[in-house]
Amino acid sequence: MHVIELKSISKHYVMGQQVIRAVDDIDLTIDPNEYVVFIGSSGSGKSTVMNIVGCLDTPTSGEYVLNGRNVNGLSESELAEIRNQEIGFIFQSFNLLPRANALRNVMQPLIYRGVPLAERRDEAMHYLERVGLADRADHLPNQLSGGQRQRVAIARALVTSPSILLADEPTGNLDSQTTVEILALFDELHADGQTIIVVTHEPEVAEHSQRVIRLRDGKIVEDHVNERLRARH
Residue 128, SS3 per DSSP? helix
Domain count, the chain: 1
Ramachandran quadrant class, 68 (left: phi over 0; alpha: psi -120 to 50; beta: rest):
left
CA angle 49, 88, 210 (to 5 degrees): 65
Q: What is the pLDDT of residue 1?
A: 87
**Per-residue pLDDT tens digits for 126-153:** 999 999 999 999 999 999 999 999 999 9
CATH number at residue 15: 3.40.50.300
Answer yes or no: are the C-beta atoms of 91 and 172 closer than 8 Å.
no
CA angle 225, 194, 148 (to 5 degrees): 105
> pLDDT tens string for the chain (233 positions)?
899 999 999 999 988 888 889 999 999 999 999 999 999 998 899 999 999 999 999 999 999 999 999 999 899 999 999 999 999 999 999 999 999 999 999 999 999 888 999 999 999 999 999 999 999 999 999 999 999 999 999 999 999 999 999 999 999 989 999 999 999 999 999 999 999 999 999 888 999 899 999 999 999 999 999 865 554 44
Residue 30: which residues within 8 A CB-CB, separation 6 or more? 2, 3, 4, 36, 195, 197
Residues found in the chain: 233
CA atoms of 151 and 74, how far apart (whole Å): 32
**Per-residue pLDDT tens digits for 35-46:** 999 999 988 999
Measuring CA to CA, which residue among 226, 224, 220 is closest to residue 44?
220
Range of the domain at 21: 4-230
CA dihedral 125, 128, 132, 133 (to 10 degrees): -90
pTM: 0.92
Label the pairing between strands 195-200 and 164-168.
parallel
